[in-house]
Amino acid sequence: MKKIIIIIILAIIGGFAFYLFQRAEEEPFDVAKKGNMKIESSAFENNQSIPSKYTCDGENVNPPLKISHAPKGAKSLVLVFDDPDAPAGTWVHWTIWNIDPQTEEIAEANVPQEAVEGITSFGKSGYGGPCPPSGTHRYFFKLYALDTVLNLDSSAGVGDIEKAMKSHVLDKAELMGLYERK
């Protein structure tokens, strides 16, 4: 009887540990408290279609992005633009880090001064617009406020960025757009 109880307890502990591991995989960053930081675009509303101008079917330039309410104490901002609906798994379209936390706008077809662009799933740095092979995909502009500046060069990929950001995220904001090739 004692062995059965011990096995049940171990199974419960194992199940809870597995649950925590799965949750960690969903959100790799510890965001202590959700603040008021926002990311928006004058080109499209959240959960609406991204105009083709900002895709592989158009000019393939980044849309204008407005940033507001970065938390006090932020030393830098990080932007990751990705597509979780890609057939091969999440496809990274753009990464930028060491954005000045006082930045209020990332202009169309522009990178903030002093910011660093990293390697995307396209195998190069810079913006690569939505270009889904089929169906409607979701595209997330994820903005992170950090309590540090990242010591990474432009050869860094999203995995390097996530590792460097760990335990430094003060706040996070998202803008999600949709795109389907016609």
Question: pLDDT, tens digit, for every residue of 156-169?
Answer: 999 999 999 999 99
Token pair recorded at residue 126: 């810079």
Percent over 70 (pLDDT), the chain: 81
Q: Please tell me the total number of residues recorded for the chain in this structure.
A: 182
- Round the CA-based radius of gyration of the chain to a whole number and report it: 19
- Report the pLDDT value the prediction gives residue 27, as an integer from 0 to 100: 54
Work out whether the CA dihedral 141, 160, 115, 68 comes out positive or negative.
positive
Q: How many CB atoms lie within 10 A of CB 88?
A: 6
pTM: 0.84
Token pair recorded at residue 4: 């059965």
- Report the pLDDT value the prediction gives residue 35, as an integer from 0 to 100: 83
Query: What confidence tens digit (pLDDT) does each residue in 94-108 have?
Result: 999 999 999 999 999
Give the pairing of strands 169-179 and 48-49: parallel
DSSP letters spanning 55-89: STTTT--PPPEEEE-PPTT--EEEEEEEETT-TTS
Query: What confidence tens digit (pLDDT) does each residue in 45-103 have?
Result: 999 999 999 999 999 999 999 999 999 999 999 999 999 999 999 999 999 999 999 99
Query: What confidence tens digit (pLDDT) does each residue in 111-132 have?
Result: 999 999 999 999 999 999 999 9
- Report the pLDDT value the prediction gives residue 39, as an integer from 0 to 100: 98
Q: What is the dihedral of CA 176, 174, 88, 27, to 10 degrees?
A: -150
